[in-house]
């Protein structure tokens, strides 16, 4: 699993995807790590390509996929 650093983001420090479990992991700048479950690879790929990672997360992941805070 490779982390993608997001220095341009004001909200997300980094994120990664675990293919084996279809889990998106997001580390936030202000603290907290969230695990989003059953996220398709395509969503991760779209987030990686999105100009705003935080906006993409807010509109396409939050409220759509189950999650847990670490």
Per-residue pLDDT of the chain (70 residues; tens, 9 = 90+): 889 999 999 999 999 999 999 999 999 999 899 999 999 999 999 999 999 999 999 999 999 999 999 9
Task: Pull the structure tokens for residue 4.
Answer: 């993608």
For 46, the token pair is 């779209």
Specify the residue for token string 């759509």: 64
Q: What is the pLDDT of residue 1?
A: 83
Q: pLDDT at position 23, please?
A: 98
pTM surpassing 0.85? Answer: yes
The answer to whether the beta carbons of residues 34 and 20 sit under 8 Å apart is no
The per-residue pLDDT for 64 is 97
**How far apart are the C-alpha atoms of 9 and 70, rounded to whole Å?**
21
In this structure, are residues 9 and 54 in contact, taking their beta carbons and an 8 Å threshold?
yes
Structure tokens given for 60: 């396409």
């Amino acid at each position: 699993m490779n982390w993608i650093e997001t220095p341009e983001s004001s909200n997300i420090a980094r994120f990664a995807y675990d293919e084996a479990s279809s889990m998106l992991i997001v580390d936030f700048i202000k603290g907290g790590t969230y695990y989003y479950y059953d996220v398709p690879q395509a969503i991760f790929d779209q987030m990686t390509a999105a100009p705003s990672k935080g906006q993409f997360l807010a509109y396409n992941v939050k409220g759509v996929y189950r999650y847990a805070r670490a």
